[in-house]
Structure 1
Amino acid sequence: MSLPAVTPDWAFEREHWRRGYFRVAGVDEAGRGAWAGPVTVAAVILPGLAQDYPFRDSKQLTGAQREDYAAEVRRVAVAYAVEHAFPDEIDRLNILGATHAAAARALARLSVAPQALITDYLKLRTDLPLLAPPKADALSYSVAAASLLAKTERDALMLELDRQYPDYGFAAHKGYGAPAHRAALQELGVSPVHRRSYAPIRALLEAPAPLFTEPLFSEDK
């Protein structure tokens, strides 16, 4: 698979640099639309050298490319951190609130404090200067780097959940609403790692129990 034609650049970072903010953190998430597992948020500060990197929006890459480029992010980053919000937090706060909470934790864990932020249209509640353009994961090197870490770390966690709950197919669909996932839910019911507040899961939980068509006990016992 060749690299996509649309490549990131430093245009959004330069807007912060011109204002004297040189430690710019890109922030991105993975898993907001999934029915199971966490939403994962990464924050990355890259060196402000305006050099080219192979980083791209993780959705445009193969799994092997994502792993290779995520390793490069970890190698070159000034600082990075990844945080998860698990289904209980998602159900309690809603998906946007849980994403904000995970982003706040990731930013707080950075070993170097950021001076400004760029997100992929995630309008964080923050006192730091924030740019939140749409499609920033495809346009900003910092956000693309964060998307790589968020995606690869969430995928690794979903593989672990697949080992714990092997019949749901998490390794293949990563918790999204694929036909195989729907079929597994119909057969097996809802697992502890499903998001109970999501409409398809809530509908299963609220469905009436099937009526027994057989006696509970044999009459000759």
Structure 2
Amino acid sequence: MTIKDVKELLNQEIGSVSKDDLDLLQEDERSGVHNLLAQYFRKVEQQQKLIEKFHKKEFLERDYWNHNLFVAGVDEVGRGPLAGPVVTAAVILPANNTLYEVDDSKKLTAKKRDRVYRQICEQAIDISIGIGSPQLIDQENIYHATELVMKDAINGLYLAPDHILVDAMTIPVNIGQTKLIKGDSKSLSIGAASIVAKVSRDRLMSAYNELYPEFGFLRNDGYGTSEHLKALDKYGRTPIHRMSFSPVRKTNKLYQTPFS
């Protein structure tokens, strides 16, 4: 086999290379083959660690799955920003899922988050999104608005879950729930929900960036960065700003569109 052939063989999905092929390659004296093998075995080790972590994260769900019960993970994104909605997601996963890379959405790069988001959409039994407007946040306060929007996400599921795993909140629904601190790092379902909520909100903020380009929403997601605060002072508040948040409340100026 040429070095190119070996590279193509070892670039296959982990576990698809036969033991006979690996044994044969280990007998090869070429340094290029040894380097490729070393890379391959590092990838195998990383995959094994990922799978071990995955099994720890599905511990809470496994008991429900073993009894043929449906468990929904729920999480939110966007409680802290000055602008934009708070977005929640409810995700019901099957027992046989292979979502090894699911983690707290904040720990993933945007590229990996998008890839895992697609995997979640392909494998999930059910997914629902809840969106809380700035007006709802101003009316109810951010904490209660988040609870209400989590309720919307649960009620939006086609399949009523038997139990809910939720990240540090209490959802006002008549379904048993387990509240976890940093649940998106401890539960596979909550981690999946955090990714779905994050990607969904990012797409909304990308659309808002087209409407209000002066605020840099693609870069700050609506959080009160220096860039955002300067724009707020210069251009005024938009309809997606939260009046109940102090920096916005202090701004009397209203944003004027180029067409005003």
Structures share fold, TM-score greater than 0.5: yes
Match of 2:133 in 1: 86
Deviation at 1:126, TM superposition (A): 2.5
Give the structure-2-normalised TM-score.
0.73
Return the offset for 1:189: 1.3
Contact 1:41 1:99 in 2 (8 A): yes
The alignment yields a C-alpha RMSD, in angstroms, of 2.3
Amino acid at match of 1:158: M
**Distance in 2 (alpha carbons) for counterparts of 1:21 and 1:128:** 17
Does 2:164 align with 1:164?
no
Q: Which amino acid aligns with 1:13?
A: E
Which of 51, 61, 64 matches 1:13?
Answer: 61
Aligned equivalent of 1:55: 102
1:7 and 1:37 map into 2 onto residues whose CA distance is 34
Contact 1:25–1:142 at 8 Å: present in 2 too?
A: yes
Q: Given that residues 184 and 194 in structure 2 are in contact (C-alpha distance below 8 angstroms), is that contact kept between their aligned partners in structure 1? A: yes
3-state SS, counterpart of residue 106 of structure 2: helix
Structure 1 residue runs without a partner (length 5+):
207-221
- Aligned position for 1:140: 187
Relative contact order, CA 8 A, sep 6+: which one is greater?
1
Q: What corresponds to 1:35 in structure 2?
A: 82
State the AA in 2 paired with 1:150. A
Output the CA distance in 1 between the equivalents of 2:184 and 2:126. 18
- For residues 188 and 93 of structure 1, the distance between their equivalents in structure 2, rounded to whole angstroms, comes to 27
SS at match of 1:204: coil
Point out the structure with the larger helix share. 2
1:50, distance to aligned residue in structure 2 (A)? 7.0
Distance 1:24 1:55 in 2: 16
TM-score of the superposed pair, with normalisation by structure 1? 0.85
Does residue 1:175 correspond to 2:222, yes or no?
yes
Please say if residues 7 and 56 of structure 1, whose CA atoms lie closer than 8 Å, have aligned partners that are also in contact: no
1:107 is paired with a residue of what secondary structure?
helix
For 2:125 and 2:165, locate their aligned partners in 1 and report how far apart those are by CA, in whole Å.
16
Determine the structure 2 residue equivalent to 1:100: 147
Q: Unpaired segments of 5 or more residues in structure 2?
A: 1-45, 254-260
1:130 to 163, 172, 177: 177
**Which amino acid is 1:136 matched to?**
G
Supply the distance in 2 between the matched residues of 1:157 and 1:50 (Cα, whole angstroms): 28
> Is the aligned partner of 1:117 residue 2:189?
no
Larger Rg: 2
Are the counterparts in 2 of residues 35 and 198 from structure 1 also a CA contact under 8 Å?
Answer: yes
- 3-state DSSP of counterpart to 1:48: coil
